[in-house]
Structure formats: C-alpha cells, structure tokens
Amino acid sequence: MQVEAQALSVERGGRIVFSDIGFRLAAGESLVVTGPNGAGKSTLLRAIAGLLPLASGRIELSPAADAPRGEFCHYVGHADALKPSLTAFENVAFFAALLATHGRRPTGAQVDAALARLGLAAIADLPCAYLSAGQKRRAALSRLIAVFRPIWLLDEPLTALDSASQTILLDLMHAHLKEGGIVIAATHAPLPIGARELALKSARAA
C-alpha cells in the first residue's frame, strides 16, 4: 500500500485552508502533521479520509483500488463516536462489523482482545456514559486493532491518555508500521514514531 498526494488544497467555509500540499508515503512510512491551531491539520486528515471534498489536487492509493478511499483508512478524529447507552464492547463490536472489509468480519474474541490491548478489559461491559475522558478515547482507539485497515489517520491521538496508555498506543503504531501499514497523525505533542514531518503554516500567514 502506498499513498500519494499531489497539490492538495481544501476550502472550508469559503476560505482556502491550505493549498499545494503534497507527500508520498510508502508501506511502513509515517507522517506527522504539525502546525499552529487552525493551520488545517484536522482538515487535511479528513480530506485524506474522503470526508471532505478537495478543492484541487489528487490523492492516490497504489495498488490502485476501485473501492472508495474511506475503506482503506481508519479515521480517529476529535469526536469519539461512542454511543453513551451502549457498553464499550457493544460500541467497538458494532464498528468492527460495520467497518470490516473483504469478508474479514471480526469475532467477539477479537473485539475483546482489542479492548484488552488498550487496558479496557475490566470495563468493557460498562455503558460509555460512565467512562472518563481517557477511557472513552481508548475505546475509540481500540477500533484501530479490532479491524485491520492499512492507513491510520489519527487526529491528536495522545489527547486525554495517561502515560501508560500513551506507551501502548505508540507500541501499536510501531507494530502497524512494521507490518507495512501507514500512519498519518496530527499532533502538538512530540510523537516518537520516527515519522517525516509536514509542517502546515497558519492560514493567516499563508
């Protein structure tokens, strides 16, 4: 799997957020997107995931795939996408079934394993309304390993995590890269995954 972006620009609310952004990532490579608040980091990730239209430019995956781009990406944004009345297990199991591709439907045991990997085994059966901010975040992140997708798009992934969970997440990213996956992360905190850096300038200055 390889991602190539050429001359991307995105418009939001009638204003060009960034323009002429390009990068190419081969299997096992990662990219860290940095920049001040409002520079367009989240915008870029959403555009890559296919959740925002491009004003110009193109994003290509190779080997070329006929399915929409969203099917190759895991997008973990600012919102956790957890239903407060469902338990952590139910939430993750649902997304695992929804996001599964190529007939690889994750089993309950795989979902349990994903939750356990993020240290949520003991509270898997608690409604998400009862979870703390970091616990919710971890439940959202456990989607990453419950279903395999080659490209991870992570928006400020370390937010709300305690140091133990930060280590776990970094380990997961390393493992994903080693297996030939791709990680693109937006972050303010340093993210030691040996990634290339794409520094967005603030839109005002641009």
Partner 1 sequence: MKETLPSALFALLTRDLTIGRRIGGAASLGIVFFLCLVAITPFAIGPDLALLSRIGPAILWIAALLATLLGLDRLFQAEAEDGSLDLLLSSSAPLELIVLVKCLAHWLLTGLPLVVASPLFGLMLGLDTHALAGVFVSLLVGTPALTLIGAIGAALTVSLRRGGLLLAILILPLSIPVLIFGVAAASRAAGFAMPFLILCGLALMGLALAPFAAAAALRHSIE
Partner 2 sequence: MPNYANPAEFLRLARIAVPVTAALTGVLFAVGLYLALFDSPPDYQQGETVRIMYLHVPSAWMAMFVYIVMCSAALGTLVWRHPLADAAQKAAAPLGAGFTFLCLMTGSLWGKPMWGTWWVWDARLTSVFVLFLIYLGIIALWQVVEDQGKAARLVAIFTLVGGVNIPIIKFSVDWWNTLHQSASVFRLGGPTIAMSMLWPLLIMALAYTSLFLTLHMMAIRNEILRRRIKRLAMIAAAEGEAAPVAGIFPEPAE
Ligand X SMILES: Nc1ncnc2c1ncn2[C@@H]1O[C@H](COP(=O)(O)OP(=O)(O)OP(=O)(O)O)[C@@H](O)[C@H]1O
- Contact positions toward its own copies, by CB under 8 A? 12-13, 35-38, 41-42, 78, 122-123, 130-135, 137-138, 156, 159-166, 188-189, 204
Alpha carbon distance 96, 43 (integer Å): 25
Of 30 and 135, nearer to its own copies (C-beta) is 135
Given the DSSP bridges, would you call strands 15-25 and 30-34 parallel, antiparallel or unpaired?
unpaired
| 36 counts as binding partner 2 under rule CB under 8 A | yes
Q: How many CB atoms lie within 10 A of CB 104?
A: 10
| Omega within 30 of 0 (cis) for the link into 63 | yes
| 15 counts as binding partner 1 under rule CB under 8 A | no
In the complex, least distance from residue 35 CB atom to partner 2, rounded to whole angstroms: 9
Alpha carbon distance 33, 114 (integer Å): 26
| 99 counts as binding partner 1 under rule CB under 8 A | yes
Alpha carbon distance 74, 154 (integer Å): 8
Of 39 and 93, nearer to partner 2 (C-beta) is 39
Alpha carbon distance 180, 30 (integer Å): 10
| 129 counts as binding Mg ion under rule CB under 5 A | no
Residues that bind partner 1 (CB under 8 A): 12, 46, 49-52, 67, 70-71, 73, 75, 77-86, 90, 93-95, 97-105, 127, 129
